[in-house]
Structure 1
């Protein structure tokens, strides 16, 4: 028995050494690649506008009577590339815009709290400085649903419609506890460790399978440079406050098209909160999809078709 324990101990110790060596090698390699590929994450794909003395990235593609504004989910480090499968199928008919909040994509990482009122003010200013005037069709993914709802509540004349991409709603009670949950805190710690060690380089960020090799490289470098930075963490810490703010007012009457992923298909509360959102609007529709949370990276053909029909019906 003692001999068996010694063998197991040696194997375990050997594996531990291999893991430590792997982490050290990856960390060194990551620092080398970050310096070598600096231009990939510092050369913006869109334009930079000055907001509060810092650079914010805004990407536009296409022309049309309607402005579709894409708003990324939490810790989606490259919104411009993440939304590409969808906006590239809409830009022939509409002007498509991707906002990269501070801490995301090619935007600066800034000091200070990232409460949702500040985020909303900065995003509105960035659009105006980029020459993109309201009204907007807001297209929020996940956590940006809070900002889109706040936008429609405070500035209803600026929001033509809201197209939710499995977006978060303030009337779903479990989201209020997200910031303090163990899984969320663990995810933040793990993501930071993966970025610091460069293990993120082993991941494939091209969920849709539509990005070019150069775009994949850019996405990877941005992730290794910015994933789960202090701005993104601070945004998560302000979830409770924005939920209280949204729930203190009536849900917006803005026309809305809500795409729900298959991840919460069996969660009746998730569906009912989105139905409540749709029922409050002057024209609300819900589409249940059979795919993952990043619906726009899986069902971009279906979603782009439905968005066109929704916009044209609303203006027909």
Structure 2
């Protein structure tokens, strides 16, 4: 009798366990299906939206052939002196992004904005994003446009590229202006190809679009008209995490290291506009000052602004820049 009861109890417990396992498997299956369905929706929406945006994308600037590919360059203004502007890392559409600053400078200068490969309307490239390659490509673009004497103006990582540039082409560059430009001694973190592989999947599946949808508008409250903002958003979604820019991210650490031994030519006028309160380091101002301590004509201007100070302080930058150049 006792054995029979034990047997019945075990049988009942086994049946109960099977029911629980079946419920768990069904729940797990439902979760997996829901995740796959969500991914499929994100992927499909991204594909349809990208196709629609491609039709609404407006061209600007002009295309020049560089290394067998097309690089987009914008030239505005009719001044006697030329300013060549280079973007920071990941700026989706440099020509549109620099619009407030271009508007302030173009009445007095010829303003040239170069969109490197992988940026704006320029082609992507599989060529390594070393400083040497990037500098060579920018120079080739300018040469094809017969621009051979100019002031170089660079934002963020372009400060590293510009250090190499002014030393390679000292007879072409008449001054350098840094827009919260990077310095070699404050290197970016090393990124390997294995680090960017998940980002490629993230982009290809359409999650970059979702990320942007949930993020704040970086141009909100700034002097950009609605049409420009629409085009900026289209190009942000087009270029975000593209393979050329990811390759640049992978090359960034070695590019910083390669620039550590470089300095600005002694007689080259250098003007730095930098944010007064850097959110991550207290060495931002001292390292910029150190970089120009041996130059004859240099100045550091501190602004109450974030890293993209040319968006919010275009007028102040243009006025200070004109005064600086007049005093040379």
The alignment's TM-score, normalised by the length of structure 2, stands at 0.80
From the superposition, tell whether residues 229 and 295 of structure 1 become closer, same or farther in structure 2 (CA, over 3 Å).
same
Aligned twin of 1:144: 158
> Could you tell me whether the CA contact under 8 Å between 2:163 and 2:263 is conserved in 1?
no
CA distance in 2 between partners of 1:249 and 1:209 (Å): 36
> Could you tell me whether the CA contact under 8 Å between 1:70 and 1:139 is conserved in 2?
yes
From the superposition, tell whether residues 282 and 123 of structure 1 become closer, same or farther in structure 2 (CA, over 3 Å).
same
CA distance in 2 between partners of 1:261 and 1:148 (Å): 19
Aligned twin of 2:91: 76
Match of residue 45, structure 2, among 29, 35, 49 = 29
Report SS of the residue matched to 1:105.
coil
CA distance in 2 between partners of 1:281 and 1:109 (Å): 37
Aligned twin of 1:89: 104
CA distance in 1 between partners of 2:219 and 2:202 (Å): 21
Aligned twin of 2:234: 221
Unaligned residue ranges in structure 2 (runs of 5+): 1-28
Unaligned residue ranges in structure 1 (runs of 5+): 1-12
The alignment's TM-score, normalised by the length of structure 1, stands at 0.83
Aligned twin of 1:62: 77
How big is each residue's C-alpha offset from its partner over 1:188-216, in whole Å with a ceiling of 9 and x where there is no partner? 95697367232255252425622222222
CA distance in 2 between partners of 1:267 and 1:313 (Å): 32
From the superposition, tell whether residues 266 and 239 of structure 1 become closer, same or farther in structure 2 (CA, over 3 Å).
closer
Alignment partner of 1:153 is 2:167 = yes
Larger Rg computed on CA atoms = 2
From the superposition, tell whether residues 191 and 125 of structure 1 become closer, same or farther in structure 2 (CA, over 3 Å).
same
> Could you tell me whether the CA contact under 8 Å between 2:203 and 2:241 is conserved in 1?
no
> Could you tell me whether the CA contact under 8 Å between 2:264 and 2:292 is conserved in 1?
no
Aligned twin of 2:202: 193
Please show how residues 13-52 of structure 1 align to structure 2 within 5 Å: 24-41=40-57, 43-52=58-67
